[in-house]
Amino acid sequence: MPSTEIQSRQTLLNEMAGRHVAFREIIERFGMLLGCQAEVREELPVVKTAKCAYEEERFLGGEPLVAFLSPEEFGPSLRQAASKLWPLLGVVFPPLHDALESIGKRLGEDLSWLNLCLRAVVHGEEEALTKAAALAGVSPEFLLMALQTAYGPCIATQKEALLSLAPADLWRKSHCPICGSAPDLATLECHSGQTDFLISKGGELWHHCPTCSHHWRFMRLECPGCGNQDHKTLVRFSPPDSPREHIYACEECRHYLPCLDLIESFDKVDLDVAALGLVHLDAVAQSRGYVPLSPAPWTAMGLAASAAKAS
């Protein structure tokens, strides 16, 4: 990552920590992790798309592009990423240091276990995840979090090559067209050339992927968790002092998704760290009994709610 970009992101993280003092430690620690993921992404090789058995009918039916690649293609990249990211994750989560060190050693030495992990994180095979976790003596939830941390830069490196294979602009599913992940952030946007009518209706809704960083358009009045379209059970709330920061929540499935209103914003927004800057909204939503659609590590482990209570 260019030094100017690192400086810009660090400045943004410092501003976030200053605005949300109760969540300063979370923002600082996970800011380090996000920065390291970006650096690792620049170092990884691109998988040759000639090995991608793409089928347009399956893609338009909802299968993400990574479904057409063999998980084993990511083996070298996952090992390389894990060797750099898991030690840092152990700093962010000190109680997990020993377990991360143990699975890191196994990932480098046990090819069959590596392949189980690849099937779990690349194609989302629950049986492979359960078996890999049992063999390593860790919980499936912990192993998946660790794998996703290392896998993110691996699939992000392939993003442009995979997008060249498919009409991704036609994608309107709630999950990412590249890796299949649920979004961690929604944005309301108005792009150049759009009509005043569209602007007056609140612009377009876009989703951001926390795994590969892709950004795609989605429908406005639909729950991305369960598909509910009943406006009476789709709710939105905002902090009194931040009217352009929202939580979209569904009373049917009880999932929520943070949202940034960027319609009147002229500043370039770093979407890869934006969700971390909305950690205070995670705390509010969870205090009301909602569950994150795409659990970031700081929400999956209850850190956002804990920080809010401590303040």
- Report pLDDT digits (tens) over 250-292: 999 999 999 999 988 767 889 999 999 999 999 999 999 999 9
% of the chain surpassing 70 pLDDT: 89
The domains of the chain, with CATH numbers, are 44-166 (no CATH), 169-193+201-308 (3.90.1670.10)
* 80 has pLDDT over 60: yes
3-state secondary structure of 213: coil
At residue 241 the predicted structure's pLDDT band, cuts being 50, 70 and 90, is confident
Instruction: Return the CA Rg of the chain.
Output: 19
Confidence (pTM): 0.89
Q: Is 310 exposed, middle or buried (0-12, 13-18, 19+ CB in 10 A)?
A: exposed
3-state secondary structure of 161: helix
**E strands within 166-269?**
185-189, 204-208, 215-218, 234-237, 245-250, 255-261
